[in-house]
Amino acid sequence: MIEDGGNSLSESNLLVYSNIRNIYCVGRNYASFAVEMGNKLSENPIVFVKPTHSLEPMNGNVVSLSGKHGEVNCEAELVLHIGKDYESGIQVNELVDKVTIGIDFTYRNVLNEVKQKGQPWLPAKGFRSSCTLGDFRAITGEKDLQHDFKLKKNGETLQVGNVKQMMFTLQTLIEFIAENYGLGKGDLIYTGTPEGIGKLQNNDTLEVLWGEESLGSCHIALLS
């Protein structure tokens, strides 16, 4: 393990962190989540970005978030690591070299407010420590992506998702992001969250799993 700014990271994860460029996130990619939140289904992927300063590992560490903005939600997502620069026609198994499960934290009240005003989602989605990453796993093809992923809060399962349930395939997401915004080596894609998102309380413990394998956990501190 290597110490990096007070957080202990595996050597492979430290290499990933040191080369991250853009963080793309996909909204409403599971119909079940859109229905749960009372949102309409979208004809095209909804994509937003997060700053690299929003990243946190999940290695038993404490993730500090503000409790001043009302409800804080946790949304587990399959995260793709892009291993090479995008070229037209490239396939998922050629482009993606690693995956993990991450959490997209959301200030729900803030998000509702900025959406009503037609303003960017950054205050609700891009704050410091607003997304976490579990331990990455190498993949050799799309067949490696068929596992269920899970989010547990205090030992209880909140969410279960699978790429087969996504509205937009991974190939569609990759092509859409690349054609509209650019996509290159070191970029991350948070691919969307299924139903069952959790409302956080101070001292909650979160754990993400890939199949039955735990990829990481963290403890939540909601600061007043």
Q: Which two tokens stand for residue 116?
A: 């009503």
Contact yes or no for 147/209 (Cβ under 8 A): no
Contact yes or no for 7/137 (Cβ under 8 A): no
| Contacts of 163 by beta carbon, 8 Å cutoff, 6+ apart | 78, 145, 146, 169, 170, 191
Q: What is the pLDDT of residue 205?
A: 98
Burial of 107 from C-beta contacts in 10 A (0-12 / 13-18 / 19+): buried
Of 158, 206, 212, nearest in space to 60 by CA:
206
CATH number of the structural domain spanning residue 120: 3.90.850.10
At position 208, the amino acid (one-letter code) is: V
Q: What is the pLDDT of residue 221?
A: 98
- Structural domain for 76, as ranges: 2-223
How would you classify the pairing of strands 156-161 and 46-50?
unpaired
Assessment of whether the complete model's pTM goes beyond 0.85: yes
Q: What is the pLDDT of residue 38?
A: 63
DSSP 205: E
- How many of the other CB atoms lie within 10 Å of CB of 123? 14
Contact yes or no for 19/172 (Cβ under 8 A): no
Q: What is the pLDDT of residue 10?
A: 65
Distance CA 105, CA 82 (A): 22
Tens digit of pLDDT per residue, the chain (224 long)? 233 444 456 666 766 777 899 999 999 899 875 566 666 778 899 999 999 999 999 999 999 999 999 999 999 999 999 999 999 999 999 999 999 999 999 999 999 999 999 999 999 999 999 999 999 999 887 778 889 999 999 999 999 999 999 999 999 999 999 999 999 999 999 999 999 988 999 999 999 999 999 999 999 999 98
Q: What is the pLDDT of residue 19?
A: 87
Q: What is the pLDDT of residue 43?
A: 87
Number of folded domains that form the chain? 1
